[in-house]
Copies of this chain bind each other. A is one copy, B any other.
């Protein structure tokens, strides 16, 4: 099997290929579209692709950009991975009802997603993260192998180094508009989930950024079928460029001092702390023999860790920390 076989959903060991195939195609198209848009904005550097095959099943396409006009380091990664549900995975999925119900069977799993982290060089341009994924579990029902569980998750969040309220408003209201098109309750719910997730609990519960939206374990239902969640993931994914790139364009030529850069590198340290200490995806990947270089492409290029670094009270830096300690309602609160 080659990486293209996996990306064309030619996975003969798994049943029910329709949803899977459509999702893989969407993720793959999204990767191309986002890379092209980021390259156009950067104007200098191009993404380099590394294809990798996973011994236990599947593989991925890791695309990395570095030392651009705008982007100092960034990755737009996709993966199409599958295999047997191992003991390690079972303990991760221990609260999953299907895993419990089919505990006498050797189940199989499948996951496909896109994961993006972009670190610009200019401290006035925010870092952004985005991830959309689908997970399926397979088991035998009446002797026939079939999908026994399926869920969707994802989100996009912004990590500025300096706070521009209009950028926060633009970012959040753009995602609110997408959410509102699907369910009027989504934005509030997924914004709160985001604020509750990207938290450095060991730093007085400071958030790593100003949030965005985050959702997980969303299972198709009678009122929200498979196509609903596929469309929602696609809409959120497509919105990445609309939500992020206007902010990049607005800030990328702002001149900055070495003090601004220093502050960015201090804050990047907090980004590292969150990803390595708290982020479930990163830790799960590192501890289950995931591809380390693809997982850790999320880490910022240059970072500082100072002892007891605190911004001057009243400074622009302090203003940022204030909203990280106490998340704001950017859309309604304006």
Contact = CB atoms under 8 A, between A and B. Distances in A.
Main secondary structure of the interface of A (DSSP, over half): mixed
A73 interface: yes
A273 B203 CA distance: 18
Interface residues of A, number: 31
B272 A276 contact: yes
Nearest to A269: B299
Contacts of A287: 201-202
A73 B308 CA distance: 12
Contacts of A66: 306-307
Interface in A293-312: 293, 296-297, 299-308
A50 interface: yes
A63 to B, nearest CB: 10
A277 interface: yes
Interface string A242-274: 000000000000000000000001000100110
A64 interface: yes
A296 B3 CA distance: 41
Contact of A303 (B292, B297, B303, B307): B303
Contacts of A303: 272, 302-305
A245 to B, nearest CB: 22
A203 B273 CA distance: 18
A286 B50 contact: no
A113 interface: no
A301 B299 contact: no
Interface in A58-90: 64, 66, 73, 75
B307 A64 contact: yes
A323 interface: no
Contacts of A202: 286-287, 292
Interface of A: 50, 64, 66, 73, 75, 201-203, 265, 269, 272-273, 276-277, 283, 286-287, 292-293, 296-297, 299-308
